[in-house]
């Protein structure tokens, strides 16, 4: 049963990833360190393969949300690249942060004290980055209070606070607010003048504040999603998401399609059933509204997206056959569907579209240059597949799976 076709899969394009990395690099000063943000399974693209490729391409630091993700990177053989934790650690997570040599982002003396205790217990020193709130309202304290906590934290014997950072709430939509946040940070800057600084996410790369910083933290742009619409032409989407036609039928006028019978055929149509649904992360909010690409044509979704299946209208698509490849996200012929398009329809942002692609969807890695786990021999094929279907593959490919959550055991 090895050669059975894929039903629904995501192709991850290493050359697009490298292209975007070089676009980001070209925006920042040479000495600025690039924190490549790979949290949430690299925005759905696959944590380990993407992290490896970005490190090979010159990313200086990997940014993840939490210690679980940091441990996964370390276990996959990414042993030396620094890791920055972007979310706050739970009290019980500091020992693991130290074990993984990850840098927690801390906001308070309380957290610094816990980190210090864990560091002393392990006989190691810990590095932390200290966050100040300037308007994001998620981590960090404001102004004088933050500075007071920072000064206390700096006296702890086993913790080195190597950078101070903040996060913009509206970098992609409100330059004035972003300026005000920067001004607030600069107001307190004299209290930590000697410390490294970082503020920028993808949207801020195109602002001059990046030049005052030692690090930038970039996710979205690396995956080829534009933080602002004008950047669309500069970046190449890394993920293409595909499925297949599982069934074709002619339905006559008066028939209805899918749950709730929300679509009524006014005239006869040829309908294709696809192997994708919200169980794969294809949002139900796309029901009756989004389009897919079949044989280079845009075809409309008819009726509600269900958990595993979705119906589209292929009446004007000649030659459509069962088994045809269907593009949900990406290019086919001269048509392309970007994450922004689905995001607009679903009332969300491109981040959520790609991050939501489910664990049932295997990721297929194309044009990746990085080596498998442990720096072993390069894999011969240009295409690597991860996910459950790969579980019988050779041990050299073991390390190519992006997430243990995404695979079944080779020997159940
Ligand atoms: C996710 C995240 C980033 C990356 O943001 P993008 O918009 O994807 O570039 C940067 N900083 C912090 C604190 C984050 O949580």
167 lines ligand 1 (CB under 6 A): yes
Phi, psi dihedrals of residue 254, rounded to the nearest 5°:
100, -20
Contacting residues for 59 by C-beta, under 8 A, at least 6 apart: 21, 34, 35, 36, 81
272 lines ligand 1 (CB under 6 A): no
Tell the residue number behind the tokens 């008819």, with chain if given.
302
What are the beta bridge partners of residue 292? Answer: 299
Q: Rounded to an integer, what distance in angstroms lies between the CA atom of residue 316 and that of residue 208?
A: 49
pLDDT at 52: 98
pLDDT digits (tens, 9 = 90+) for 192-215: 999 999 999 999 988 877 778 999
pLDDT at 206: 83
- Positions in the chain whose pLDDT score sits under 50: 373-382, 387-412
pLDDT at 386: 53
Q: Rounded to an integer, what distance in angstroms lies between the CA atom of residue 373 and that of residue 377?
A: 9
116 lines ligand 1 (CB under 6 A): no
Domain extents in the chain: 14-223, 239-337
pTM summary value: 0.91
Output the known binding site for substrate.
Answer: 138, 307
Output the known binding site.
Answer: 138, 307
CATH for the 239-337 domain, from 2.60.40.1180, 3.40.50.970, 3.40.50.150, 2.40.37.10: 2.40.37.10
pLDDT digits (tens, 9 = 90+) for 168-188: 999 999 999 999 999 999 999
Distance 167 CA to ligand 1 centre (A): 8
Q: Which class is domain 14-223? A: alpha beta
Catalogue the active-site residues: 39, 259
The first and second tokens of residue 38, run together, are 């790979």
Q: Rounded to an integer, what distance in angstroms lies between the CA atom of residue 202 and that of residue 81?
A: 21
The answer to whether the beta carbons of residues 362 and 286 sit under 8 Å apart is no
Phi, psi dihedrals of residue 92, rounded to the nearest 5°:
-75, 0
H-type helices in 123-167, by residue range?
A: 143-154
DSSP result, 60-120: -EEEESSHHHHHHHHHTT--SS-EEE-SPPPGGGHHHHHHTTEE-EE-SHHHHHHHHHHHH
């Amino acid at each position: 049963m090895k050669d059975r076709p894929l039903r629904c899969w995501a192709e991850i394009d290493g050359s697009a990833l490298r292209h975007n990395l070089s676009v980001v690099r070209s925006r920042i000063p040479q000495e600025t360190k690039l924190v490549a943000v790979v949290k949430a399974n690299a925005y759905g693209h696959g944590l380990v393969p993407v992290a490896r490729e970005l490190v090979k391409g010159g990313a200086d630091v990997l940014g993840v949300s939490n210690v679980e993700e940091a441990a996964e990177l370390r276990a996959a053989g990414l042993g030396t690249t620094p890791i920055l934790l972007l979310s706050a650690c739970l009290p019980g997570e500091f020992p693991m942060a130290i074990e993984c040599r990850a840098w927690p982002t801390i906001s308070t003396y309380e957290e610094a004290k816990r980190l210090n205790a864990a560091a002393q217990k392990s006989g190691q020193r810990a590095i932390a980055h200290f966050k100040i709130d300037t308007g994001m309202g998620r981590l960090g304290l404001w102004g004088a209070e933050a500075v007071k906590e920072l000064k206390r934290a700096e006296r702890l014997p086993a913790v080195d606070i190597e950078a101070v950072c903040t996060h913009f709430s509206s970098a992609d939509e409100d330059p004035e607010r972003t300026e005000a946040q920067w001004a607030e940070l600069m107001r307190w800057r004299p209290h930590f003048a000697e410390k490294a600084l970082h503020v920028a996410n993808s949207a801020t790369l195109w602002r001059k504040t990046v030049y005052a910083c030692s690090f930038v933290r970039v996710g979205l742009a690396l995956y080829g999603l534009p933080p602002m619409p004008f950047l669309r032409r500069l970046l190449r989407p890394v993920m293409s998401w595909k499925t297949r036609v599982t069934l074709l039928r002619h339905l006559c006028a008066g028939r209805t399609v899918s749950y709730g019978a929300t679509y009524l055929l006014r005239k006869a149509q040829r309908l294709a059933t696809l192997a994708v649904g919200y169980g794969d992360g294809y949002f139900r909010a796309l029901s009756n509204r989004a389009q897919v690409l079949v044989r280079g044509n845009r075809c409309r979704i008819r009726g509600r997206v269900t958990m595993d299946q979705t119906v589209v209208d292929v009446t004007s698509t000649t030659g459509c056959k069962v088994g045809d490849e269907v593009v949900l996200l990406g290019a086919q012929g001269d048509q392309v569907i970007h994450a922004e398009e689905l995001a607009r329809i679903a009332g969300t942002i491109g981040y959520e579209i790609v991050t939501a692609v489910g664990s049932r969807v295997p990721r297929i890695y194309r044009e990746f240059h990085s080596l498998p786990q442990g720096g072993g021999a390069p894999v011969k094929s240009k295409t690597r597949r991860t996910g459950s279907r790969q579980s019988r593959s050779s041990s050299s490919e073991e390390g190519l799976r992006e997430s243990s959550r995404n695979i079944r055991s080779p020997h159940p």
